[in-house]
Structure 1
Amino acid sequence: MLQDQFNRRFSYLRLSLTESCNFRCSYCLPDGNECSSRAEELTLPEIKRLVTAFALCGTRKIRLTGGEPSLRRDLCDIIATCKAVPGIEQVAMTTNGYRLKRDIQSWLDAGLDALNVSVDSLDPATFALVTGQDRLPDILEGIDLASSLGIKKLKLNTVLLRQHNAGELPDFMAFVKQRAVTLRFIELMQTGDNNAFFARQHLSGDSIKQQLLAAGWLLGVKDAHAGPAQEFFHPQHQGGIGLIMPYSKDFCADCNRLRVSSLGELYLCLFTEQHRSLRHLLAQDDPEAVRQFLQHSLLFKSSSHALAEQKTGATRHLAMIGG
């Protein structure tokens, strides 16, 4: 298995399929994007070779991200290809939910195991303000449909924004009371283009954590290939609430994931200055060359990001590499 100098093992790959997105979220792409990289996105054969090499290195979970991955016309083929790779135990995806109601059945038929849907507010007006899309009712119908179809793991992602959704915790708790889904609050992260926005909107997830503990919520235990969320459960609620707090102490201590962009660049951290292209290694079926590249690259992985020092690395916006 891939391992760095701090004895962290990496069994989780976050693979971005595109930088493009059809939403204009205020914390990510408020002005939209030019979609100039679409022609250069990894092809299906390249994705197969990449995932195969990662699986041979001990990767067990793949998360397909973006941008918005459902903008890829070959998405179902990508899901099925990843699922068929020996060693891959779970194929997950993160989506803005725009095509969820229409396409969820085909995603499940292709082999999708887990789904995260971005829902930054349960108030339609606030949702539209944050995302630039008046689509909340349709997305919520898609979430209920996915649940009824029996998807194994279903989670909602909410970026904490001081001026927009910081007071919605009671509404979110009511939402998960009768639904077997987990809602995760994600602290707003500083990137290269959002300094002023970050200063206005950042809110520590610890304030939510204290409210949950006071209301009788209990911290759960992570599974082996889980991401960084602290997840809380309550005996009177079917669903759970999670917190992703990148500014908290020791956040990076149990890092288990690597990232590859839609252009074939390896990111050792979401907020690193360095990224190295491995695309040239995907021109032929040579997983050993990819393995050596990955293991050598891990020699340069830092013990932690430097967000507390306002060092955001080369990440201009989160659509570059899927958050």
Structure 2
Amino acid sequence: MAVYEVYSHPIQQRYKSSFCTKASVFIIVMFLLTSIPPFLVTYSSQGFWIKEGVYREQAEVDFKHELLLILETSDSYIAWSTYEHFNVLEQSNLVVPIVKTREEDNNMDGKADKLHYNIKVPLLDTQQVFSVKLILIFDYQLHRQTKLKMESMAYIYHNSPISGAELITDGELQLRLKSPLAHKGSDVRYNVPVINKESIFSTDYQLKNIFSKYLERNVTTSFVCEYPVWIADRATSQHFEIKGVIRYPQELIPYIPGFWYVIKWGWIQYVSVLLIFIMIIGRLKTFAFQNQVIDSIVEKPLKK
């Protein structure tokens, strides 16, 4: 008659020793060899502590209907802005344009996705435009991690050796960070005017001073247009026109992770290596005690 296994269970073997013995020292050393090397291995493999993370978010952007425009012409320059004091200072070069703007929310999520703008500047027939410098001001907010709120700008610039009739741009308002944001909290450090519209000094409206102060920030925005279109041959009595689209894209935003996220990531890496050491050291301990390489008191096996 054939026989087969109908049931099995393990038998536990116990080994005992007093505290100040080789067996006790051996167990302590084995514990240290099990717990410390996995940490050293994972730490030396780079990336044990996550110092920076990224997430994706589309900012809430609103055009503030504030701008500063300078056109360099054949004889000098002309300028205009929404800032009263600047217009007073530039009265001799002031020209009042026709400005139209419109924001769109394509996906109906409550956030604007793009800004359409159109600026028509009246010129004399003898005036020719060779360069455009335009600053547009925005309210810019992030909500997902750091509650960031700031005033930012888009700078549109183009020049040409050929006088123009029209400049067309289509680009993105991109976020720039010098260092990652925090993982939580509120950041309103840069919720201050890019251009001090209350100032009566011309130096506060000079582009070099505006840009220098703006670039001291950790967080800024920049208008990126890969393909500006410059149209020449302005007809008599034709306005010089600046038009285009500024898109508000989703951004990959770097941030500094919180304590528990860092621990969770480090713990996963540590445990994955620890399991290998537990298996190897466990077999080494079993071999040492079963073969009495380390002297100990062997108790009668206990059935489980």
Structure with max Cα Rg:
2
More helix by share: 1
Larger RCO (CA within 8 A; separation ≥ 6): 2
The question of a shared fold, defined as TM-score above 0.5 by the shorter chain, is answered with: no
